[in-house]
């Protein structure tokens, strides 16, 4: 091959396959080293729980790469199992809601049942077993209220059982479920409206709850929301005094910038960058933006997780970590088996 031909091929290679390690690509810069160092990771990584309630948790995950943070979020959404209504046997439904819509509506009701106590139901098992299925029944009939006043117009006074809610769902224990769970199996909330009836209309159905994953259907997702954002960083490169301090504080969310009296002058101080909404409002003001530097911490993630109520939020976080760990173990095992097969193949040669 001639020297001229080699030069042409090099030019084609540069055009088609540019150097991805250059600074033209996001996430890459001179001196960047992504080599894995376990001791370095352990030293820098930590989790700090900021707030925790019965349904919500907010925590900081620091020292983690974005790819792992996003994997954790996706696992929370779609790979932590829950129990949900999957099959509905409709014996009678004279409400105005069609059977298909009614069944879909029932499937979205969160069920308070620990999925870790159940097995996955096999596809060829129609009725299920106590180990993999929960059964609920819903029997409601609407009638006129004979004790209603003569001029009553309120449906709550005119009719009996005209609102069908999750309070009307009755758990039917199977096998030894009553001994295992007592009376703890129920919808997460008892006031979720399912349907409205009028006198003469009734509902008689049986519902089967099974264990499933959000990646198969959204009704199995254990979270209402699961999101993360990077920790905002706000730096003031010059002092903001007097009226400027007040104007600067108004550009950010409440609590981010505090105006204090320092040596007799109002001075702007950054006190809580966590509350910043990244609105960039300050950039609209030419006399303010020159002294403000806005950025984000690359390895500091603020997670917000809201549970549907089937499991407490802290349990969801632990389950998601367990799923991620099992995936890592599987990947490592596959790599080792592949290396072993290659080594055996070379010995045979």
pLDDT in tens, 285-322: 999 989 999 999 988 999 999 999 989 999 999 999 99
- Closest Cα to residue 253, out of 280, 223, 221, 287? 280
Residue 4 has pLDDT above 70, yes or no: no
Question: Domain segments of the chain: what residues?
Answer: 38-79+305-348, 82-221
In this prediction, residue 8 carries a pLDDT of 53
Backbone conformation region of residue 57, classed left if phi is above 0, alpha if psi is from -120 to 50, else beta = beta
What CA–CA distance (Å, rounded) separates 138 from 155? Answer: 21
**Backbone Cα Rg of the chain:** 30
As a dihedral over the C-alpha atoms of residue 316, residue 185, residue 214, residue 327, rounded to 10 degrees, the angle is 50
CA distance 94 to 98: 9
* pLDDT > 90 fraction of the chain, expressed in percent and rounded: 68
Strands 257-262 and 134-141: unpaired
Angle (nearest 5°) at CA 285 between 284 and 291: 110
Q: How confident is the model at residue 278 (pLDDT cuts 50, 70, 90)?
A: confident
For residue range 239-254, list pLDDT tens digits in order: 999 999 999 999 999 9
Interhelix angle 66-78/313-348, rounded to 10 degrees, is 110
Q: Say yes or no to pLDDT of 14 above 50.
A: no
pLDDT tens digit sequence for 139-197: 999 999 988 888 888 998 999 999 999 999 999 999 899 998 988 899 999 999 999 99
Two domains, one topology: 38-79+305-348 and 82-221: no
User: What pLDDT does residue 13 have?
Assistant: 46
Report whether pLDDT(101) > 90.
yes
Average pLDDT along the chain: 87
* Architecture category of domain 82-221 in CATH: Beta Complex (2.170)
Give me the architecture of the 38-79+305-348 domain, per CATH. Answer: 2-Layer Sandwich (3.30)
């Amino acid at each position: 091959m001639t020297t001229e031909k080699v030069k042409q091929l090099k030019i084609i290679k540069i055009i088609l396959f540019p150097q991805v390690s250059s600074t033209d690509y996001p996430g890459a810069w001179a001196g960047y080293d992504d080599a894995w160092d376990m001791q370095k990771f352990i030293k820098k990584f930590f989790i700090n729980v900021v707030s925790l309630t019965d349904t919500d948790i907010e925590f900081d995950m620091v020292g983690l790469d974005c790819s792992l943070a996003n994997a954790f979020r996706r696992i929370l959404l779609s790979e932590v199992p829950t129990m949900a209504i999957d099959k509905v046997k409709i014996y009678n439904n004279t409400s105005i809601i069609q059977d298909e819509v009614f069944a879909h509506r029932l499937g979205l009701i969160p069920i308070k049942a620990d999925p870790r106590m159940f097995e996955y139901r096999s596809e060829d098992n129609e009725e299920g077993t106590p180990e993999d299925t929960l059964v609920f029944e819903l029997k409601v009939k609407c009638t006129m209220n004979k004790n209603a006043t003569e001029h009553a117009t309120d449906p709550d006074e005119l009719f009996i059982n005209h609102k069908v809610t999750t309070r009307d769902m009755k758990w039917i224990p199977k096998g030894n479920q009553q001994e295992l769970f007592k009376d703890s199996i129920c919808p997460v909330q008892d006031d979720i409206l399912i349907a409205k009836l009028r006198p003469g209309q009734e509902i008689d159905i049986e519902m089967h709850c099974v264990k499933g994953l959000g990646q198969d259907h959204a009704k199995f997702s254990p979270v209402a929301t699961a999101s993360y954002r990077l920790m905002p960083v706000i730096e003031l490169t010059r002092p903001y005094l007097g009226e400027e301090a007040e104007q600067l504080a108004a550009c950010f969310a409440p609590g981010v910038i505090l105006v204090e009296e320092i040596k007799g002058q109002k001075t702007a101080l950054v006190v809580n960058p966590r509350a910043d909404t990244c609105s960039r409002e300050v950039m609209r003001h030419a006399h303010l933006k020159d002294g403000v530097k806005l950025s984000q911490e690359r390895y500091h993630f603020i997670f917000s997780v809201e549970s549907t109520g089937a499991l407490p939020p802290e349990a969801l976080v632990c389950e998601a970590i367990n799923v991620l760990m099992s995936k890592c173990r599987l990947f490592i095992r596959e790599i080792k088996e592949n290396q072993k097969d290659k080594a055996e193949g070379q010995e045979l040669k």
